[in-house]
Structure 1
């Protein structure tokens, strides 16, 4: 069995429903078992700023799939939920990214593990820290908790725990 951490993000309504449907679809075929899930966080957009805020979360999964098969499976879930790939970093019904896969370091055309920009993204590291603070990524020789400490305060302030429909926890 392989262990992976996946990030989920959405900023097209109904955001919460897209997260819920993605989680259900990931487990529906028996190819992925969700072991842990973070809280949901509401976050400001990064890159392309002319769009709505995102709901983000991270899950730990067990899977018999290879990393490439998991990527293809995640992309099929995105397609089932109407993901359109138009504007880079633009609005989306759902975005599923493989953050880590076992302790692998991989750099192939379609998949880089660990995710190359995760260490710069508060919207990934803060939820990941919630479920795996001591996870150490060999490529960077730092734990997730240490990486969160390296984030600029301006990035951290834009990640707010989302407690229920329409509200955030400061």
Structure 2
């Protein structure tokens, strides 16, 4: 099952980008025997529309283009469900075993997600109660995806 992160906004910080790329590479290696990966990262520019509602609608339309009919959309949302690393790994495993072609993680712009994205979500996922900059959220998500692969493979990286 392919895994993708589709995000509004480009990572400008070289250090954040390097960390995301490191975990993407690790996931690709660890996930191969599990039928997971590679991790595909797509970035879209923020909308330039004048109104918040229009910006969210425009960004949602771009993010939803990445979702195929047999894909699962996981939306990063501050009010979403918080999962343990083990529960997150189980969600990924169940999506794979349920026949999903891809799990696509959607990260919205500064104004949040449009209604169309929220409606398409199989899971609204929170990375925690703290507000994270979008770049740091991508780092945390990429690390948790790698961690999920190690949990599923029984690798000692995850020690709970």
- Length-normalised TM-score, structure 1: 0.35
- Length-normalised TM-score, structure 2: 0.36
Which one has a larger percent helix, Structure 1 or Structure 2?
2
Tell me: higher relative CO, structure 1 or 2? Use CA pairs within 8 A at least 6 residues apart: 2
